[in-house]
A and B are shown apart, each in its own frame.
Chain A
Amino acid sequence: KQEVTQIPAALSVPEGENLVLNCSFTDSAIYNLQWFRQDPGKGLTSLLLIQSSQREQTSGRLNASLDKSSGRSTLYIAASQPGDSATYLCAVVNDYKLSFGAGTTVTVRA
């Protein structure tokens, strides 16, 4: 059974600092890994998707790395802004299912 862990559970930083969010998973036989953003009262928005054959994926200020063999992924957010405040969820696909971590709640202070 796939288990996804995210550390830390919460993070508070001043505006402009870089953010580092960690995700680990127990079963390395994944199809891909995704990072989602969840805002209070709203659904999930997909930020980045990394295929199992890829090492990283970038979109604007966001960069996600994947080390499948060690079961780890890291999401970097450069030059954080108050609008980045949200919960970030990591999810892996295997057995045709998405398995989610509990998320990291980020607060960026102005």
Chain B
Amino acid sequence: DTAVSQTPKYLVTQMGNDKSIKCEQNLGHDTMYWYKQDSKKFLKIMFSYNNKELIINETVPNRFSPKSPDKAHLNLHINSLELGDSAVYFCASGLTDTQYFGPGTRLTVL
């Protein structure tokens, strides 16, 4: 059984488009996270939600908007995609020091 799943695994799109990445966890965790891993391999937190409420928002452009319909899901919507948005996006859930990560979504903006 997959603990943290993300769809799609790969996403290739044109600049200016709007796209979404979905994340689901079946671990019963209250907190979920989105991370971005850039070309230099640095993983940086973007958002954290606890029970559908935003608790961490790290200087991320307004074009990025997380949406949590329930505590098992945290989706990431990105508007007006830019070349610099190309990266691997990871979803995670759990406590700060015990996080379970999804397999990642590789986003390529052309």
Contact = CB atoms under 8 A, between A and B. Distances in A.
A96 B96 contact: yes
B97 A103 contact: no
A31 B42 CA distance: 20
Given A89-B43, A102-B40, A31 B103 contact: no
A63 to B, nearest CB: 19
Contact of A100 (B9, B43, B48, B103): B43
Interface in A56-83: none
B104 interface: yes
A46 B56 CA distance: 22
Instruction: Determine the interface band of chain A, counting residues with CB < 8 A from chain B.
Output: 20 to 34
Interface residues of B, number: 22
Contact of A43 (B41, B42, B98, B101): B101
A100 to B, nearest CB: 4
Contacts of A31: 96-97
Given A43-B4, A43-B90, A97 B101 contact: no
Interface string B52-87: 000010100000000000000000000000000000
B22 to A, nearest CB: 15
A103 B104 contact: no
A43 B43 contact: no
Contacts of A44: 43, 90, 92, 101
Contacts of B48: 97
15 contacts: A34-B97, A42-B103, A42-B104, A43-B100, A43-B103, A43-B104, A44-B101, A45-B101, A49-B98, A87-B41, A93-B97, A96-B56, A97-B56, A102-B40, A103-B41
Given A87-B41, A100-B44, 13 more contacts: A31-B97, A41-B104, A43-B104, A44-B90, A44-B101, A45-B101, A93-B97, A96-B96, A98-B96, A98-B97, A100-B42, A101-B42, A102-B42
Nearest 4 A/B pairs, CB to CB = A43-B101, A100-B43, A44-B101, A102-B41
